[in-house]
């Protein structure tokens, strides 16, 4: 395995001397902008669509806000941190027609390059600078003097210095404090999508909903079922993050460990593995990406699904518990 690089190994000048436009000011955009400024990058502008609700926040944070077309004309490098599914529209309508010659493109996920949503010109450095974790966590860890594990890749090196820019960018958002590793656009994309679909989001939510419903059907109160099937997920996740799976088993009760080992193989049986294979096939052949981008561009981005979720009994139980623990938190 490749040894990591750390901040001490990396020259930050390639990003510090760069006129950088950050497109998007959500969790990733805001965290990256604040961290890079604190790391000595002085010429940062935030590029937003007309009427963006993020404008006030960006200006309150002390950044100059410009339009997308202007950013394409002005910047030496663009960090495209808007949602993956919007990249094709942003690139085709705002960046490609106006971009400054030789302008680098920095992405925090490989999605839009791996699936061909963006077709970069020959004069562009195309860089992946992925800090692995939620966007907000980038800033949280940076403020602690730490960072998230970083992965870099170069899809196209027109300048001959794309690697240096990728490493400088990741060091600037704190990843150099914990380690920066090489990857590829394909590897980051496939791993990211598969992990969030079958474990971190899709798998976890499916298990939480189904187990809650089964306990309630057995006569357990919704409050108790929610605590044991949903609320306590964080505690186990924290243990695994800190100690690994083996360390988690050592930390919990012997009864919990024995019971888990009795059913672990049955849960991860042939049917689940077929579901995993199906998810992986859709990721690798591009059908998932095509379906998602078409859904987004048609204006049907899960509004009905979110409304249905809010009406589930598990949500009512969770809202009641959170109000007791956290007050007005939703």
Active site residues: 109
Torsion of the alpha carbons at 50, 99, 167 and 145, rounded to the nearest 10: -20
Following DSSP, what letter does each residue of 73-85 receive, concatenated?
HH-SEEEE-S-GG
**How do strand 150-156 and strand 77-80 relate by DSSP bridges?**
unpaired
CB 43 within 8 Å of CB 20 = yes
Tell me the CB-side half-sphere exposure of residue 270, using CA atoms within 13 A. 0
Closest of 71, 86, 181 to residue 130, by C-alpha: 181
Euclidean distance between CA atoms 248 and 185, whole angstroms: 32
For residue 311, the SS3 value is coil
Euclidean distance between CA atoms 137 and 148, whole angstroms: 8
What are the counts of helices (DSSP H) followed by strands (DSSP E) for the chain?
17, 8
In this structure, what token pair is assigned to residue 259? 């019971």
- Tally the residues of the chain: 330
CB 53 within 8 Å of CB 258 = no
């Amino acid at each position: 395995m490749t040894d990591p690089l750390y901040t001490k190994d990396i020259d930050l000048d390639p990003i510090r001397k760069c006129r950088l436009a950050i497109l998007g000011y959500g969790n990733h955009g805001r965290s990256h902008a604040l961290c890079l400024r604190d790391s000595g990058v002085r010429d940062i502008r935030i590029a937003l669509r007309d009427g963006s609700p993020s404008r006030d926040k960006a200006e309150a944070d002390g950044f100059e806000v410009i339009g997308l077309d202007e950013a394409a004309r002005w910047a030496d490098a663009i960090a495209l941190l808007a949602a993956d599914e919007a990249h094709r529209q942003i690139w085709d309508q705002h960046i490609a027609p106006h971009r400054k010659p030789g302008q680098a493109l920095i992405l925090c996920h490989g999605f839009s390059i791996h699936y061909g949503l963006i077709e970069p010109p020959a004069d562009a450095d195309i860089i992946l600078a992925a800090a692995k974790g939620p966007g907000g966590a980038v800033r949280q860890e940076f403020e602690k003097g730490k960072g998230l594990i970083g992965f870099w890749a170069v899809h196209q090196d027109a300048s001959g210095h794309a690697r240096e820019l990728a490493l400088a960018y990741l060091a600037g958002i704190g990843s150099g404090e914990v380690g920066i590793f090489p990857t590829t656009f394909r590897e980051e994309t496939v791993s990211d999508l598969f992990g969030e679909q079958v474990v971190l989001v899709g798998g976890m939510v499916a298990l939480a909903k189904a187990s809650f419903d089964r306990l309630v059907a057995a006569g357990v109160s919704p409050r108790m079922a929610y605590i044991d099937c949903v609320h306590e997920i964080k505690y186990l996740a924290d243990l695994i993050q800190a100690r690994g799976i083996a360390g988690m088993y050592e930390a919990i009760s012997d009864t919990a460990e024995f019971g888990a080992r009795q059913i672990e193989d049955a849960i991860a049986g042939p049917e689940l593995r077929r579901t995993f294979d199906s998810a992986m096939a859709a990721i690798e052949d591009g059908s998932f990406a095509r379906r998602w981008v078409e859904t987004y561009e048609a204006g049907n981005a899960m509004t009905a699904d979110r409304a249905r979720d809010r009406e589930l009994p598990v949500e009512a139980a969770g809202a009641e518990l959170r109000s007791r623990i956290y007050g007005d938190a939703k």
